[in-house]
Amino acid sequence: MATEPKALEDLFHDTLKDVYYAEKQILKTLPKMAKAAKSPELKKAFDTHREETEGHVERLAEVFEIIGKAPRGKTCDAILGIIEEGKAVIEEYSDSPALDAGLAASAQAVEHYEISRYGTLKAWADQLGLKDASKLLAETLAEEERTDKSLSALGKTVNAAATKKAA
């Protein structure tokens, strides 16, 4: 009995489940990163992004609704690996002046993963004619890109602070 090959719609749905799971894991991790951060600005950035991430989860639920599927996650090994790397930074550098630099770098790894996923999902939504989904995904993509730029700017500050304290 031959099975029908999977289509772009299936890949879109699978990737949507992947990023939904990732966002839920990020929601659990951001408070831990905020607690570990020494820089008040970095703590605030993590708190702000947690609030944004709640909105990302809501938008993803809307995209699921648009395609007629229940919002459900699928284990995302990539985000789990990135989160584990962030946990290692917290454990290994907790007493180090480089902690905040490591946290900012870990957060950017998460952002870059999300940017790649949302960019791809938006392109596929466009290809599939899912205009409303595309708009929602574009909105989240823009927020992720702004967060990445903010982390880059903040990274310069925490990197400089780590260098001064180490000298």
For each of the chain's 167 residues, which pLDDT tens digit applies? 668 899 999 999 999 999 999 999 999 999 999 999 999 999 999 999 999 999 999 999 999 999 999 999 999 999 999 999 999 999 999 988 899 999 999 999 999 999 999 999 999 999 999 999 999 999 999 999 999 999 999 988 888 878 876 55
What value, to the nearest 5°, has the Cα angle with vertex 117 and ends 79 and 132? 135
Q: Which two tokens stand for residue 12?
A: 């879109």
Contact assessment for residue 76 and residue 22, using Cβ atoms and an 8 Å cutoff: yes
Among 29, 32, 17, 137, smallest CA distance to 80 is for 29
Give the per-residue pLDDT at 1.
66
Two tokens, residue 34: 């905020």
- Total domains in the chain come to 1
Instruction: Tell me the one-letter amino acid at 83.
Output: I
For residue 149, the model assigns a pLDDT of 95
Which residues make Cβ contacts (< 8 Å) with residue 89, sequence separation at least 6? 99, 102, 103, 105, 106
pLDDT (0 to 100) of residue 163: 80
Residue 134 CA to residue 136 CA, distance in Å, equals: 5
The pLDDT assigned to 160 comes to 83
Q: How far are the Cα atoms of 27, 50, 91 from residue 31, in angstroms, in the given order?
A: 8, 8, 15
Cβ contact 3:63 at 8 Å:
no
154 in a domain, yes or no? yes
Type of residue numbered 43: K
> Is 3 within a domain?
no
pLDDT of residue 43: 94
Indicate whether 125 belongs to any domain.
yes
76 part of a folded domain: yes
| Distance (Å, whole) CA 133 – CA 85 | 32
Domain presence at residue 1 = no
pLDDT for position 2: 65
40 within a domain of the structure (yes/no): yes
The domain that holds 83 is classified in CATH as: 1.20.1260.10
* C-alpha separations of 67 from 37, 87, 130 in Å: 39, 35, 8
50 is in which domain, residue-wise?
8-166
